[in-house]
Structure 1
Amino acid sequence: MALKRTNVYADDSDLALIKEAAARLGLSEAEIIREGIHRIALAHRVWDEPFVSDDETFDLGDPMNRGDIGSTLTEGYEAREHRNRNHAA
């Protein structure tokens, strides 16, 4: 990975946190800053295609409450375990 030099302005309090983290982790302050830039760049990335297609999703119907979600997950888990047991034999 080629690195390119740039200048940024930062708050004193942020720089102090970076200095503390670098010392605690045994890294350079520059490495902490590069990691932060990389993470925020990924967080704001826009993908050309959706993560899943409409064919890969399903409609659960009406809004679900906590109990509905729990029972749906449990049923899905049990169904998968049942399939896995049958294929393992």
Structure 2
Amino acid sequence: MPLKKTTVMVDEADLDLIKQAAARDGRPESEYFREAFHLAAMRSRRWDQDMDIPVLDFGHAVTSDEVDELVRESIGGETKDPR
């Protein structure tokens, strides 16, 4: 993807944090700014049509205990006997 050069005014404290992170992580500062621009661009996207998101009907309200149990099962943790 071709890159376009631009100038942006930023808070001095934020810039200092980016400089520190770049030095600590061994990454160029520009990577942090490209990542931030990408996140902002994705956040601002709008679609012309509704998303086709399936609705799951379990026949009852799902409790937090059921969600916790399913998460534990999916990561291979111990589970409680549902009976």
Provide the aligned C-alpha RMSD in A.
2.5
Structure 2 equivalent of residue 85 of structure 1: none
How far is 1:51 from its partner? 5.2
- Cα deviation, 1:10-40, whole Å, max 9, x if unaligned, reads 1111000110111112121112111111122
Aligned residues: 71
For the residues of structure 1 that align with 2:46 and 2:59, how far apart are their CA atoms?
A: 29
Structure 1 equivalent of residue 16 of structure 2: 16
Unaligned runs of at least 5 residues, structure 2: 75-83
Structure 2 equivalent of residue 38 of structure 1: 38
Q: Over alpha carbons, which structure has the higher Rg?
A: 1
The runs of at least 4 aligned residues of structure 1 exceeding 4 Å deviation read none
Q: Percent identity?
A: 39
- Cα deviation, 1:40-64, whole Å, max 9, x if unaligned, reads 2223323455152xxx332234433
TM-score by length of 1: 0.60
Q: Which has the higher helix share?
A: 1
